[in-house]
Structure 1
Amino acid sequence: MGIKDLNKFLRSECPEVFVETHLSHYAYKKVAIDVSLYMCKYKAIMGDAWIRSFINLVVSLRRNHVHCVFIYDSGSPPEKENTKDKRKASRDKIEDNIIQLEYDLDQYHSTGEITPLLAKVGKPEIVSLRRQGVAFSLPIAEAYFEKKKKQLLHISEADFDMTKKLFDILKVPYYDAPMEAETMCSDLCKRGLVDAVLSEDTDVIAYGTPHFLSKIDTSKDTCVLVRID
C-alpha cells in the first residue's frame, strides 16, 4: 500500500519533514483512522491477539484526550482494480508456496527426503555452517515456513464486525466510506471535519492531506508528524 519508495525518498532527501510528536499535542482534536490498514498491521504483528492492539490504540488516544473516528472501506475506485488484481496474484503465489512447503516438510519428517524447494529455503546463510558441510537446516526451513504464513493474512467480515462491537462498547464513532477509507479520511481532513489522519499509507500525501500522523507508539503515546507544506 502507498506510493512505492516515497517514504524512503523523504527520509533520505527531506528528513526534516518527520517530527516525533507526543499525542498530547492533539488533545481535544479529531483524528481519522483507516480500520483496514491497522487491521492488516495488527494481524501481522499480533496474530490472533490483534484486537488487543485496537484496544491499546483507543486507550492511548483517549489517555491524551484525542478524539478518534474510525473509517471502514466500502470498495475501491476502478483505477485501482489493476493494483488489486496484482495483490491477489501475489497472495495466490504465496499461498501456493506455503501449501507446497508444508507438504515437503511433512514428507521430510516421514521419509527424510529433501525436495528442491526445501533445499532452497533451508540453505544455511551462516558461513561457518557451510564450511562444516551443512547443506540443509530444518530449523531454517521451518522458520521460513512460519514467516511465509504470517505474510498470508486472513481477514474476514467477522473481524470487522468484532471491531465495530468493540467501538460500540468504547463509544468510539465509526463510519463506512463511500469507497476507500483512506480517501474519506483525507477528505474529512481537507474539509476541516477532522484535524489529522493517522495512517501508515503514503497515499494520504498524494490525496493532499494537510495533517498526516504515522508510526504511533501506544506504549510511549507518541507518533510521527509528516509535514508536507
Structure 2
Amino acid sequence: MKRTLVIGDIHGGLRALRQVLERAQVQHDDTLIFLGDYVDGWSESAQVIEFLIQLSSQQSCLFMKGNHDMWCENWLDNGLAPHVWLMHGGSSTAESYRFLDMTTRRKHLDFFNQLKSYHIDAQNRLFVHAGFASIHGPEDEHDDSNFLWDRTLWETALTMERRSRQDDGMMPKRLKLFREIFIGHTPTLNYNLDVPMHASTVWNIDTGAAFYGKLSIMDIDTKEFWQSDTVQRLYPDEKGRN
C-alpha cells in the first residue's frame, strides 16, 4: 500500500535520516512529508539538503520550513549570520558548506526558497513546523513567523489533554479546525520522552534528533513509527546542539 510518512526535525543528521528511511522500508510510491529544521546541529547539514533534493527527484516529497531553515536561507542569500543562529547550530552548518561551490549553494538556496509554510491534505490534516495563532486557521495567520516559532498550539493541546473528557466542549477553536495536526519544533525530550507525542488533535514528531534524542518517521494513517539510533551515537565525536 502507498503510505504517507511524516518526518521530524533532522538538524544535520544525515546518518540518522538514512537509517530511519531504511528502517521504515520507504518505497518510491510513498509520500514523504518533512516538518522542517533540516540544518543546524550535526556536521552534515549541507549534505542533508543535497540528499533531500535528490530524494525529491525520485518520489513525492513535501517540505515544510523551520526556523533554522530560515536562518540558513538568509545566510546563503545575503551572508547574514546572526550570533543567535551561530550559537544554535549555525556554525556547524556554515562549516558544512565550506568547500561547496557556488552552483551547489545556489541550488540549495532554491530548495530553501521553495519550502512550504504549511500543508493541508485532502483529509483536512495540517502539517506545519511549529504552529499557528489565528483561531481561523493558518490561511488567516497575520504573522508568518508563527509557522516557524509558535509553541502555544502545542502547549494548548497539552493543556486540553490533561482536562477531563467532560470538558471536550471547551476545546479551543484552533484544535478543532483540523482532523489532525502534525508538528515539530518542540523536542519531546522536554517532556522526558524520545518518542512521538499525541495531545488532543496534535502529533509532535520532533523527538530530539538535534540533541540526545532520535529521528522519527511516522505513518500518518496507522501511527506506526520508526526511529533512528540516538543520533549522538551516530556522530560520536560531535555534540550536536547539546
TM-score class normalised by the smaller sequence? 0.3 to 0.5
The structure number with the bigger radius of gyration is 1
